[in-house]
Every structure is written in C-alpha cells, then in structure tokens.
Amino acid sequence: MRILDPAAADTGGELSNDDQLRTEPETARLQARIDQLAAHVQQLEQERASLRWMAGHDELTGLANRRRFRALAPELLRGDDRPSAVLILDLNGFKPINDTYGHDAGDEVLCVVARRMAACLGDHLVARLGGDEFVALPRAPRADVPETWLHEVAGSLSAAIAPPMNVLGHTLTVTASIGVVPAGPSSDLSDLLRRADQAMFSAKRRANTTDKAAITWVVATEAGDHTETYEPAAGPVPPPGPTASGPAVAYRAGDPVWVHRSGARRAGVIEGACEWAALVRYRGQNGPGTMVDTIPTNCLTVRAETDPYLDRKSSAAM
C-alpha cells in the first residue's frame, strides 16, 4: 500500500521540497506500520489454518482424526452409486511393544502402520480413531463390482502392513484384526461403525484361538460373517530408513507381482526396481489395458497366479 499525503492534492500529487522533507519520515513510519500489520495478519491466517488442520487430524500420524472422519464419511457415502465399506483395524499385541521397547517405539510403529494404510488405500478416507485403532472408508472402483471386492481390500491392506519394520534399531512385526461391513448411500454411520467394530472383535477372537502370527479379517454382511486370514511369507527385513516401511522382498525385472492401490489388487510385472520402489506394468481398473508407474515396494506383493496377458508379454520381451 502506498501512502499519499493530502497536502499533495492541491498540487496535482506533487509536494514542495519543504513539505516533502517534512512528510517523508512520517510516511516511512506509517508505511512500516502498515507492513508490520500486514505481516501480523498473514501470521494470524497461517495460525488459523494450522489450528483448523490440527482440529481435524491426528497429531502423531497425520491421518484424519475421529471428528474429521465423522464429518466427511456421510457425504462420501452419499457420493454416487459405487459400493462402499467401513473398515476398522486394530493392532494385535500392541501394548507389549510399548512395554518392551518404550513409547517412542510404539509411536513409530503407529506412524508406519498409518503410512502403509494411506499408501495402500490411496485417495480413500483413512483415520486414526485413537490408540492402535484405525478406520477407513474404501469405495469400489465401479458400481458393478462383485461383493468379493471387500475381501480384496482387506487382503491388500493386510499385505501392506504385514512386512517387518525397523524401529529404533529393533526389527518388529505387527498383526491386526480387521472388521469390514458393506455400506450404502442411506446407511447410518454410527450403525456402520458399531457393526464394523463387532466384526473386528470377532476377528480378534478368531486370532486368539490360533498361535499363528497372522492378520485376520471378518466381512460382516446380511448373509453372515466371512472370515479370512493373511499369513505373511517370511522375507528379509528392510534396512532402517526414514519411513521404516521398506520392502520385504528384493524385486527384479520380470517378477510377477500384485499392486495394492486404492484398496484394490491388480496384477503387474516388474520392469525395473531399486531398494524402495519399482517400475511396474500393471492392469488398469477396467478392460485388458495396462499402465506403467513407479510403485513403492511396500505396496507390492509376490504374485503366484498367472496373468495370461501380462506374463505372455513379459516372456516375449525376454
């Protein structure tokens, strides 16, 4: 903002030499004050934006918090005719990690799990409810998907969080219990959360009946509950890194993989790989087409099933 002295109005905006000498210091002081106020307003706006973000996000993991999930979920459920689901994930045996390695290690485990969930589910809403409990609202890629897509989401998420992690010099693995319920545009969110929580506890009871280190999920539908278990394959432990969520497998060009993205599992083939990421050719959402993209290796798992299109192209290239 430029300050114009009123004394200059009668002279067409020009001041005499004496008037200019008299008003210049005052003008400079006023301009400095205006600049100071503008900087203060900008600081207040930044603080307000920061407070608004903090009100809707978990301070530790950066995910949405319970309040923001409840605010956003109803609108997402009403968004269109694609099937949705509410998924609750609770870590198994998390307290011993805090007791054995300290709360700093426990906090880092929660952050790793949060990053892996966010990477796996992509643009879908993911939140931390509190403690070691997380919630997500995945949506199907299209309206006509079979109900098995719920199991694909849970399976992809299980594969994403299962690899070992290096936390403060310790190699740790976590398992979880997952409850999933299908949702529709007119579903009541509180009822969905209650049923997903019940399904999660059903999965936890199932996990407690076996001594296997596995991730168990229960999909609760009107036709009944369906339980499945994911048992992670043994693999090398990733070296420590900034995210502590590196690969469980060293991938090479030509390796068949599953790409876990946005809650869906798609067949792919490695075209090139480094320690933390891979260039992958993988199936698109619809039809036989493929795409090529760089995928974090913690979003990949080994694919044993054959894909006639991808694997034929890979063999021909070799």
DSSP string, 282-298: EE-SSSS-EEEEEEEGG
**pLDDT at site 240:** 36
64-230 and 249-317 share one fold: no
- Output b/e per residue, 6-26; b: 16+ Cβ within 10 A: eeeeeeeeebeeeeeeebeee
Could you give the CA distance from residue 183 to residue 196 in angstroms, rounded to a whole number? 10
CATH 3.30.70.270 fits 64-230, yes or no: yes
Q: Which residues participate in catalysis according to the annotation?
A: 132
Distances (CA, A) of 158 to 8, 44, 153, 263: 74, 43, 9, 11
Q: Could you say which residues of the chain have pLDDT below 70? A: 1-22, 47, 49-54, 211, 232-249, 261-264, 275-276, 285-288, 312-318
What tokens appear for 145 in the block?
A: 């998907």
**pLDDT at site 315:** 52
CATH 2.30.30 fits 249-317, yes or no: yes
**pLDDT at site 108:** 94
* Residue 230: burial class (beta carbons within 10 Å; 0-12, 13-18, 19+): buried
Could you give the CA distance from residue 5 to residue 59 in angstroms, rounded to a whole number? 50
Task: Give, as one character, the DSSP assignment of residue 82.
Answer: S
Q: Which helix H or strand E contains 300, and what residues bound it?
A: strand 300-302
Strand partners, 288: none
Q: Where are the domains of the chain?
A: 6-51, 64-230, 249-317
Could you give the CA distance from residue 64 to residue 126 in angstroms, rounded to a whole number? 7
Q: What's the helix, strand, coil split of the chain in %, to 5?
A: 40, 25, 30
Q: Residue 96: how many CB atoms within 10 A of its CB?
A: 9
Residue 143: strand, helix, or coil: coil
pTM above threshold 0.75: no
